[in-house]
Amino acid sequence: MSNKLQALLYLSNPKPYLERLAADGLNERVDFKVIAAGEQATDDDLAKAEILFAPGVPPGTLSKMPRLKVIQSLTAGVDHWLARKDLKPEHTLIAARGTHRIQVPENILGALFHITKRYHQIALNQAESHWQRSVSDTLAGKTLGILGLGAIGQQLAMKASALEMRVIGTKRTPEPVTGVDKVYGFNETDKVLAESDYVVVLLPVTPLTENFLNTTQIAKMKPSAWLINFARGAIIVDDDLIAAVKAKTIAGAVLDVFRTEPLPPEHPFWKTPGISVLPHIGGYHPQRDSWVAELLADNIRRHLDGQPLREVVDRERGY
């Protein structure tokens, strides 16, 4: 067995990761074993690995890894890791936080323009050579409520304020945030729901937030307000949202995340007027793998040198 540190990487696109690891000189200190998408690591590979980098692994895999110390997720959300029965206290869990801070806010702005500018209907009209002018709503002067002012939420706030929107939101520790008019604690979410013209969900899934947006909470929103979810599907109660949109309790919703993905063809979200379904496009962008690779390389170097790791998950908070 090699004296080098052993790292197991589950990757469908290994090129940007291996290039970054090599460029940082880590090949001299670490043996990297790449497992392609759909394949399984051998018991021998599992037994050797001290670092695991993966979107997820089959149930029971972690119990076959006695040397495992660090798990880095490919995603910012780690609820699927925290739910595992084979995750041990000695496993340091890393989230890919910050790697979506550009693309997700841009896609949320796209959702806001989708709602207000009616480009979808214009495209349908063009397909039929039909000229029909319409008056679109403005974002300037409207209130954007952000549930979860983390890295993504803070970037969104700056961009929205540049569009002359009033921005409010919630943060676990209320403190001033650039571009945000008022920051509330999570226990003051009701105020954000009541004041906002557009409510953007950017919360992690925790026992506190799962099924949080139900009939009672949605009813606190304005009848003219829209709900936009780019976080996790489990935060919203599907049936309650559908009922609220049908009853005009709120104006509608744009959803990029769902409890089951791909969203099953029979799910009523597809056919509910007022609900727009996006195929989980929020965080994907051409540089994403490069940014996650930078975080992976930095954390491997820190682990080797005995330095604090970046973006460590607080298991009590759930993110």
Show which residues are catalytic: 232, 261, 280
Burial label for 87, CB within 10 Å (0-12, 13-18, 19+), is middle
- Tokens 């880590």 locate to 26
Determine the Cα–Cα distance for residues 141 and 166; give it in Å rounded to an integer.
Answer: 6
Are 218 and 249 in contact, with CB atoms under 8 Å apart?
yes
> Is there a contact between 170 and 194 (Cβ–Cβ < 8 Å)?
no
Q: Please report where in the chains the tokens 């390389």 appear, as a residue.
A: 297
Helix, strand, or coil here: 215?
helix
b vs e for 225-240, b when ≥16 Cβ sit within 10 Å of the residue's Cβ? bbbbbbbbbbbbbbeb
C-alpha span between 225 and 223 (Å, rounded): 6
Radius of gyration of the chain (CA): 22
40 and 15 in contact (C-beta within 8 Å)? Answer: no
In 3D space, the residue among 220, 178, 216, 227 whose CA is nearest the CA of residue 195 turns out to be 220
